[in-house]
Structure 1
């Protein structure tokens, strides 16, 4: 009866680039309130004096390092005043404006939306037209070229805005920016840093953007080809080749079959090479050169050549981690198997949607059949899954602490966590896409479930991104095992000895979880676990199933988010659609309790209509299927009671769940 909801795959967007302030000689500004500080910044930005404007931009950059100040900066529309300075006649002011605004855009996606409302795209577009269309870096500059840095900062600002806003993408398409960016792919003329920033921006802009694809194809095809053929395996070369490969993939609109065979093989070889670098070893080596704090907690700063060597080493590790994260994101998107033909879910087509979502799963194509054979072969032959999984493991705790405590290496610490989270999301997608035999069989997938569980229940609960991605892997792993021979996994005896004590930690985790996404993953996961136990009903496994059922029912009554409530109900419908569960349904009084939840679900669905499309589909599925399931199961249980009476009231005794 119940529709088995497949584990979600995720299209992975790039993280917003986090900027750091590289300026020297910063002075701490002491003010009596953030309101006064922001007013001071506004006054300085509107001054005719170059030094005043520069000082105001530096103060703005310092202000937003404290998250408490960001809301005031946005509310007072500081960006609206600062953005025109991107085209200021003074190059130092342009550079400071680009750095400060990039830092603002790096805070969170919602801030980018506010920047768009404050018309940041107009001066940013003008910057490219007026200062980047014909500029080339100074050949004889012995110090860091200010204009080069301004271009990099502006391009990362553009990336962040395009990542957040479809309107920003539209601005780019209507301007000459797409004609300007390709010129910055000339490695010999502009150098690694500028080419990397340009590729990172193009990777976002060309995704699902036919207008951008056509322009970049006509302007950049030869440059991209030369970049993926770049020689060398040093971190910056790996990053450039990985990003160029990602742009090529995005330019084919996800239709990898449209690429020549040799290009596909080359692209996957690049991704595999980027992921083959031992990130833990590189970070271990870095930690041995990072200066440690003394007993008073102070770090003696390195000077001269030692400082330069450490700076270059940190940059190399950051580039290596960026290359690995980019490779992971590209693979995750390849394995997301987006079809583009999902059913639209507006209120006028509910009956049509209900008909669609209740189709038998046998009529749909398996996820692992959707990838082109050549792509599947590349993923398997290059052992991509194992390489991505290795990125879920962080360096030892002492190494992580050293990297976190030293200011210069804190970005490495952050990127390690970002790579770990992205790797888990990629694993989630690959679990649904690759055949189980390519994942080590049922036992291999079971080990993934165990290892993801260790991350879920032993990590710091404050890292919600990690918890969400790890629980998604747990859910996908069990779903993969369930789908293996229709869930008949008795031969591996993985779950036969599952006891109540084994799931107590999971149930506690759901009770204490404040994130609806994580709650949803865990509820679905324990439901799949219960479904696997149905194949081997004993007194112990029956008690586990009943405990899980009563827990999910209890959570459903407490749930405020309608889509999580729908997930819980859909989970129970899947579980009790099995005929073997009739005796358990009687024991937990399932039909009576679901009958109480049905109007609650319906009312919440009416109240919470504004949901993302995938959540709307889930809610419509549960709302439509629940009454049918109740009717179906009620008829079966009536027969069950009749059979008990006919057979002399045979009672199957089970110990009550604790």
Structure 2
């Protein structure tokens, strides 16, 4: 088939700090009793919501916020009408109660999943939430002194909880999104975004929420105005160097809200957030706009996490050595270990923004798991999240719209971060064509050295940074994030190889260097790495590289024996895409060898590996790819004919044909998509024709 998947990512869903979150145990004695009493009736806590004392109401909300992070407790709260009882407290006369009540609903939405979010919307949680957001925005300016960078408006803490709750609900419920549109909440989110100069966490929450509510939301896009442009201008022209601001600008670079804003442009040129303007920007402005966008992403990728993370870690260690209270580090480490467990556990709702409530009687502050004083860890996390997001945006920019690229692929099983702007919406593809980048996109990527910077990010994470994070439980959460940047870079490399010509990528010498680099990544270890996400990304990149280099007579950096060993390792992988990639790699290699002299024995080895998969593989998609690769390898050439004879390929395929046909008839329609069935039917026809071809070859001997 010769096609490879051009991976896309949807918007990354994280909390305000870009963190995946989990429950944190409180250190206060009273709160320990609540946490230890998870099995106690939800009604006892819900009753306290009506207490005349604001402190007691706040305590009850904070307790509920923590308890619902244990998923098994959620049904009990829902059965006792928790949503309707917490909803009015979002408008309580006490700001502290508002914050904790909204935080409790935020955690309920995050931990309960899509069905709970839908149920919350049906119970009219959007009415008090909308009112709260509007009151928060009105309260932003009640005390001008609080707008100073050194001071904090407590209303903004409430707003942060409300924005995160809104984000969760709109991500899961089309009804919530409809309310968002009808209530005109875009201006509220923009006001929160504008707080980036002194409240970066609120601005980040608003940016993430904005990503969610603008996804495939034509009604909202039609109502955008100059206010959106002004808010984004303020963000994107910010000169702040903190990593949180780098993340914010990167998020802005991926926003899809600007597809109609070009009508309001005047003399602005420094916009990094203008991707997805393809159909509406005047042709003369496209190159300038895309260049500004890519410049933002390029700057983010230039940052060296291998250097910065050790520096931040050292600053964190020095700070803890002089400032930590007795026992404080143990608490922070416990929090980090629970975060790591959440990362390992994955789960359907991983990465949904949650809140961890503060005790009303202690100064301990676990703000979305990172306690006060962990600014260095926040910085490191923001850096890695920004780089991952930048790479995902570039992946989408280099994504072919050719449907056949995805013909074998099942729906992507997204992790926390495999979500980014689906910027190639229907009818909005004027800058991209299948397997070809426009001149504007091509120029912007090359002009900012994006291929070179992406290749650098495909390297394994810095050993020094990894060792430091491994030794410090609090920083251990960054290990997976460093690896994920590498995986996204490999996917980005794959898409660039699929959509850019060899000359643009530096010619034969540069491509050979890429091949050598990929060979080192895969084969330098004592055994082929088994991490599925890595295997999917690196095999996709290898497949695309071989497709572009096969006709170029570039000296091989992968031996057939290495590729066969890779294929054998891949066939043990649960991910269909990894197995398909490995088989396609064998097919490309075999078809190249078939044109050379003295390769019959190697072709036979490759053919045997493909035939074994085609005969024994239960998944029809993988079986079909193996057959398709066989067709490519043995389509022509004396060496291929000799190998086919020694392999007894004709008899093997004749025996396989009725089995393959029966499996398609028996399993196909109920198990595979219509697109996959179409490809399988084509392969079934090609198998019959290929058998006929082999019979003709035999007769000529």
TM-score range, shorter chain: 0.7 to 0.9
Change (3 A) 1:128 1:5: farther
1:15 aligns to what?
Answer: 12
Is contact 2:398–2:495 with CA below 8 Å preserved after alignment? yes
1:267 aligns to what?
Answer: 293
Q: CA deviation at 1:272?
A: 1.2
Pairs within 5 Å for 1:518-557: 518-538=578-598, 541-557=599-615
1:96 aligns to what?
Answer: 100
Change (3 A) 1:414 1:44: farther
**1:333 aligns to 2:333 (yes or no):** no
1:387 counterpart (448, 453, 460): 453
Secondary structure at the aligned position of 2:504 is classed as helix
Change (3 A) 1:254 1:118: same
Is contact 2:192–2:206 with CA below 8 Å preserved after alignment? yes
Q: Deviations over 1:36-94 (max 9, x none)?
A: 725544541354346666556545555576xxx53x24555659955442551254344
**1:638 aligns to 2:695 (yes or no):** yes
Change (3 A) 1:203 1:589: same
Cα separation, 1, equivalents of 2:461 and 2:513: 20
1:172 aligns to what?
Answer: 180
Q: CA deviation at 1:605?
A: 0.9
2:443 counterpart (354, 377, 396): 377
Pairs within 5 Å for 1:98-247: 98-100=102-104, 102-103=106-107, 112-120=113-121, 125-135=126-136, 136-137=139-140, 146-163=154-171, 168-187=176-195, 191-217=199-225, 219-247=227-255
Is contact 2:528–2:569 with CA below 8 Å preserved after alignment? no
Pairs within 5 Å for 1:44-59: 44-47=45-48, 48-49=50-51, 54-55=58-59, 58-59=62-63
The gaps in structure 2 that reach 5 residues or longer are 15-19, 261-274, 322-326, 333-362, 365-369, 409-431
Cα separation, 1, equivalents of 2:298 and 2:73: 43
Higher helix share: 1
Q: State TM-score, norm by structure 1.
A: 0.77
The 10-residue stretch of structure 1 (217-226 or 382-391) with the greater mean CA deviation from structure 2: 217-226
Change (3 A) 1:494 1:52: same
1:472 aligns to what?
Answer: 540
Change (3 A) 1:226 1:505: same
Is contact 1:389–1:427 with CA below 8 Å preserved after alignment? yes
**1:585 aligns to 2:607 (yes or no):** no
Change (3 A) 1:91 1:514: same
Change (3 A) 1:205 1:290: same
Q: CA deviation at 1:567?
A: 3.0
Is contact 2:459–2:486 with CA below 8 Å preserved after alignment? yes
Q: CA deviation at 1:506?
A: 1.2
Pairs within 5 Å for 1:330-369: 330-338=393-401, 367-369=434-436
Cα separation, 2, equivalents of 1:45 and 1:462: 48
Cα separation, 2, equivalents of 1:196 and 1:79: 34
2:559 counterpart (498, 521, 540): 498
Is contact 1:567–1:622 with CA below 8 Å preserved after alignment? no
Change (3 A) 1:13 1:44: same
Change (3 A) 1:618 1:144: same
The gaps in structure 1 that reach 5 residues or longer are 346-364, 482-486, 645-658
Secondary structure at the aligned position of 1:133 is classed as helix
Q: Deviations over 1:302-324 (max 9, x none)?
A: 999xx999622222222222322
Pairs within 5 Å for 1:288-299: 288-291=314-317
Cα separation, 1, equivalents of 2:306 and 2:519: 21
Is contact 2:491–2:541 with CA below 8 Å preserved after alignment? yes
Cα separation, 2, equivalents of 1:206 and 1:310: 34
The 10-residue stretch of structure 1 (184-193 or 271-280) with the greater mean CA deviation from structure 2: 184-193
Secondary structure at the aligned position of 1:603 is classed as helix
2:487 counterpart (411, 415, 421): 421
Cα separation, 2, equivalents of 1:7 and 1:21: 40
Secondary structure at the aligned position of 2:160 is classed as helix
Cα separation, 2, equivalents of 1:163 and 1:532: 47
**1:512 aligns to 2:572 (yes or no):** yes
Q: Deviations over 1:415-462 (max 9, x none)?
A: 323323322222222221222223233453454455445555759967
Is contact 1:125–1:175 with CA below 8 Å preserved after alignment? no
Secondary structure at the aligned position of 1:289 is classed as helix
* Structure of greater relative contact order (alpha carbons < 8 Å, 6+ residues apart): 2
Is contact 1:77–1:118 with CA below 8 Å preserved after alignment? no
The 10-residue stretch of structure 1 (433-442 or 116-125) with the greater mean CA deviation from structure 2: 116-125
